[in-house]
Structure 1
Amino acid sequence: MRILQLLLVTLMSFGITWSGVHAEETKVKDNEKKLEIPNSVLDISKDNTYPNPSQDVPYLQPSELSQELIDSSNVKIENPKLIKIFNESNISPSPVAIGYRATIYLGQWPLSYESSETSVNWEYQKINTNYTDNRGGKMPQQIHYRQEAQKNIKGGLTSKVENAEDVKEMMMLKAMDKTKLPLSFQTIVGAGTKKDQVYNVPVKKLGYLYAYTPAVSEKGKVTYGEVYLVLKGKNVKIVVKNVTSQGIGAWIPVQDHVSFLYTASDRPR
């Protein structure tokens, strides 16, 4: 109890407050060339019978104070949740702060994510098969996409890490920035979703139209560290100790996009 009282007095003497959840947000910076999407991949956002929520993760803009704290750190800091904490803080120099020294432990955090490889598997998960039997027909028939059953496609990290949700958010931000694709760790294709694009099934053939959900494979490393707020007189800075790095990968589905593969066969598949 005595330690808590001393900590509160120290914080008040420096004019430090931690306020409610409010932060300025901006869109992800567009500094990469847009990925070329194959012709076999179609956008179903207007056709999907299940309305997926938007997953446009905004880039959290640091406040002036937050930027000063980030710049003072000995280790790169990108974690949006940690930046939000900095944004919610207020430090006002006080005459009584002269001569004060304090080190405040803010916890162990995933600080940043560095991407080493980003690629797209356009046939990540098969979600539907439409077929037409024209073996007894005398004229070509047509087949088009219609989703037979609702499909829930989930991505995720390839290994267990601490603070997984923070890591996933940083990885998705980097993947969205590099691919310019609408990404989400979970997306749903509703039953009855269809496209008008048609595929011709020749006479004496079976036509199969396979539908897949694409996903981005994101690989890199995440850096962890113990974060301390160090106050000395009127100066304040961030010091990170016990820094570690860990390799990590993730599969992140592309939201409201379907990849199609059509084939004609003499025999049932």
Structure 2
Amino acid sequence: MRKLISVLMTLLLMVLMVPSAFAEKNPSGPPKMEPAKYQIPSSVRSITKENTYPNSTQDLPYLQPSELTKKLINSSNVKIENPDLIRMLNESSINSTPFAVGYRAIVYLGQWALNYESSETSPNWEYQKINTNYYDNRGGNTPYRIKYVQESQKIVRGGLTSKITNAEEVKKMMLLKAMKKTNLPLSFDTVIGAGTKNDHFYNIPAKRLGYLYAYAPAISEKGKVTYGEVYLMLKGNRKFIVIKNVTSQGIGAWIPVQDYVSFGFVASERPR
């Protein structure tokens, strides 16, 4: 008799939890960006068309939660925004059955970075110097025009400002928030190809040395990430999520702006 009950319970568990392996992507695409809270300075110019290195657009997992996932997220006592956790929930289904009366199960889904709350998003237009164009016009009698030409390929990398658990998940959430707040093309890695040019010119007066500096801009993103242990609770036909051992940690990141360059020009009597 005990063996028969054990077999029946095993079959019931198999019926209740069946993987569906279908992640639903948002058919309407990424959420709309909010207007930037600041103006891009005139010294910052787009090189999207001129960049000799074709940066790929940052592919972020904009996922639309399934109906089941929405119900589970709404049942949680802590806000869930982690796209990787949402994807995992999307890839599972829990089927109801009339024989589930009195059934109870607790499934531990692991410790997750649940959400990221942004507190400060600010630009640094001169995050990293990437190039210097130079011309000596001290022997000239008329102004000399100088333009930006990238002398060598430059890789600009951002990253988190400190070590943190589930770093890749946290970076995704921070990137999503920063892109929405700035309406700028952001990526933790961007490349400016050798030979990249810009048509804007600068006049070096006669009897002067001219220096045209180029910088890669980046966004400073700061906020708080919340962690917790995620449990899926099954009680009869009820399904809900419980978060335990919730902790929070402050975190910051530098996120480069793709295909934008900030310029600074100096005319000097002496070498710099």
- TM-score past 0.5 threshold: yes
| Equivalent position amino acid for 2:109 in 1 | L
1:246 to 225, 249, 263: 249
1:182 pairs with 2:185:
yes
Q: How does 1:196-207 map to 2 (within 5 A)?
A: 196-207=199-210
Query: Is the Cα contact below 8 Å between 2:52 and 2:194 reproduced in 1?
Result: yes
Deviation at residue 31 of structure 1 after TM alignment: 3.8
Q: SS in structure 1 opposite 2:84?
A: helix
Q: 2:162 aligns with which of 136, 153, 159?
A: 159
SS in 2 for 1:114: strand
Correspondence for 1:20: 21
Instruction: Kindly report which structure 2 residues correspond to 1:90-169, keeping only aligned pairs within 5 A, or say none.
Output: 90-169=93-172
How far, CA to CA, are the matches of 2:210 and 2:139 in structure 1? Answer: 13
Partner in structure 1 of residue 3 of structure 2: none
Change (3 A) 1:261 1:114: same
**What's the counterpart of residue 225 of structure 1?**
228
Equivalent residue for 1:235? Answer: 238
Equivalent position of 1:257 in the other structure:
260
- Tell me, yes or no, if the aligned pair for 2:209 and 2:268 is still in contact at 8 Å: yes
Misfit runs of 4+, over 3 Å? 5-11, 31-35
Please say if residues 229 and 238 of structure 1, whose CA atoms lie closer than 8 Å, have aligned partners that are also in contact. Answer: yes
Q: State the partner residue of 1:53.
A: 56
Judged with a 3 Å threshold, the aligned counterparts in structure 2 of structure 1 residues 27 and 34 are, in CA distance, closer, same or farther, namely: farther
TM-aligned CA deviation for residue 229 of structure 1: 0.3
Report the number of matched residues. 264
8 Å CA contact 2:18–2:95 kept in 1: the answer is: no
Alpha-carbon distance in structure 1 between the residues aligned to 2:266 and 2:258: 25
Give the distance between the partners of 2:251 and 2:90, measured in 1 at CA.
Answer: 28
Q: Determine the structure 1 residue equivalent to 2:87.
A: 84
Query: Among residues 30, 38, 41, which one is paired with 1:38 in the alignment?
Result: 41
Match of 1:70 among 46, 70, 73: 73
Q: Name the CA shift for 1:13/1:21 in 2 (closer, same or farther; >3 Å).
A: closer
Instruction: Summarize deviations over 1:51-75 as a string: whole Å, max 9, x none.
Output: 1111153532211111110000000
Q: Aligned AA for 2:89?
A: F
Normalization by structure 2: what TM-score?
0.93
Q: CA deviation at 1:20?
A: 2.8
Per-residue deviation, 1:86: 1.3
Gapped regions of structure 1 (runs ≥ 5):
none
1:122 is paired with a residue whose SS is strand
State the Cα RMSD in Å: 1.7
Return the offset for 1:7: 9.5
Q: Is the 8 A contact 2:33 2:179 kept in 1?
A: no
Distance 1:211 1:245 in 2: 38
| % identical equivalent positions | 65
Tell me the amino acid that sits aligned with residue 101 of structure 2: I
Shift of 1:8: 6.4
TM-score, structure 1 normalization: 0.94
Q: CA deviation at 1:22?
A: 2.6
State whether residues 22 and 90 of structure 2, in contact with CA within 8 Å, keep that contact through their aligned partners in structure 1: no
d(CA) in 2 for partners of 1:22 and 1:63? 8
CA-CA distance at 1:9 after TM superposition: 4.6
Contact 2:21 2:92 in 1 (8 A): no
Structure 2's unaligned 5+ residue stretches are 1-6
Question: Structure 2: how far apart are the matches of 1:239 and 1:6?
Answer: 27
